[in-house]
Chain A
Amino acid sequence: MKKILILGLFVLATIGIQAQGYQVGDDAKDFKLKNVDGKLVSLADYKDAKGFIVIFTCNHCPYSVAYEDRIIEIDKKYKTKGYPVIAINPNDPELYESDSFENMIQRSKEKGFTFPYLIDETQDIYKAFGASKTPHVFILSNAKGKYTVEYIGAIDNNYKDASAVTSTYVETAVDALLANKKPAVTATKAIGCSIKSK
């Protein structure tokens, strides 16, 4: 009791943009966003997908760049198993020129992205998800058009060095889902570039 009173005297506060978006277990709404090939992409387009690896990422952020090759590998590995990667750039290109649609097209070509790279032009989708930074992953399972958030967080536990990774969070979570299990780890934190909105 005394301890509680003492704690009450301390100032403890966190001021900032707290995530208002999806929590693990929530249903995610579908979206319709423009891909680098000019076509609109929705989750509903993927009739046979067991789920999705939605990754908010961009061109300008060194953490995103550090993960580009790994995202391609994840897409190649899991697309055929029913979990394609959907990449979404949430940044306002007026604030980050390198994140413009034209530069997205260029980057996608340069790196040979095997997945759609969508632009969140109105910036409504990243807010709906509650993405706060790039890269920021949301794994969704798909039950006949009902998309459930199964995992939120980082791709793995070493942004600097892919060969030094000891926990492949995303792969482990998707492997569990493919085995009809819930992921053991459903949330992780990572350093990232905060998303800039208008």
Chain B
Amino acid sequence: MKLPIRLILFASLLFSSQLAVTQEIKTYNFDELEPIFHFQNDTTYVINFWAMWCKPCVEELPEFEDIRKDYANKKVKVILVSLDFGKNVNDRLNSFLERKDINAEVVILDDPDADKWIGKVDEKWDGALPATIIYKKEKKIVFTRQVSYDELSGTIDKLNNQTN
């Protein structure tokens, strides 16, 4: 039962190359996730609440990926908070992200007692998806609807250009 060495090599290469594009998606409850809304550093955080079944969310996803690429060296961090749930959610998310070529960081927020935490994200947000929080230290802009690339970049530039 000796496997040809070439086959093993090929298989391991294939496996490792898949690992490179597939991110490990972690699942959090809101208490565990909450620190990402309150970092006090030089980075501007762009945090988007979305789900695979949410049409406007999926439409705007490429804008976030473009922001991630275009601001890669400008202290901007994009985090996509998925509210997907159900069977094999990690696998479904990974294949979806691969298909859409999204490489921004994705986390799953699994906290069904939503009334407890939605107001902590933003008191004016009532929980409709999508929603986007852009903040740097104490400065914060929230979009409770679909956003465009220009709105995202304009907001990021505005926050970055303000004196601290």
Contacts and interface: CB of A to CB of B under 8 A. Distances in A.
B25 interface: no
B113 A16 contact: no
A176 interface: no
Interface residues of B, number: 35
Interface residues of A, number: 36
B141 A15 contact: yes
Contact of A62 (B55, B85, B130): B85
A151 to B, nearest CB: 13
Contact of A95 (B55, B140, B144): B55
A160 interface: yes
Interface in A19-34: 19
A17 B145 contact: yes
B53 interface: yes
A153 B51 CA distance: 21
Interface in A43-81: 60-62
Nearest to B145: A16
A189 B127 contact: yes
Contact of A11 (B55, B86, B115, B158): B158
Contact of A19 (B118, B126, B140): B126
A18 interface: yes
Nearest to A152: B126
A13 B158 CA distance: 13
Nearest to B54: A193
- The 9 A-B pairs with the shortest beta carbon distances in the complex, nearest first, are A16-B144, A133-B128, A194-B128, A14-B124, A189-B118, A158-B112, A16-B145, A14-B142, A11-B139
Interface of B: 51, 53-56, 83, 85-86, 112-116, 118-119, 122, 124-131, 138-145, 158-159, 162
27 contacts: A11-B139, A11-B140, A11-B159, A11-B162, A12-B140, A13-B140, A13-B141, A14-B122, A14-B141, A14-B144, A15-B141, A16-B142, A16-B143, A62-B53, A133-B129, A153-B115, A159-B112, A161-B112, A189-B114, A189-B118, A189-B126, A189-B127, A190-B127, A192-B128, A193-B54, A193-B128, A194-B145
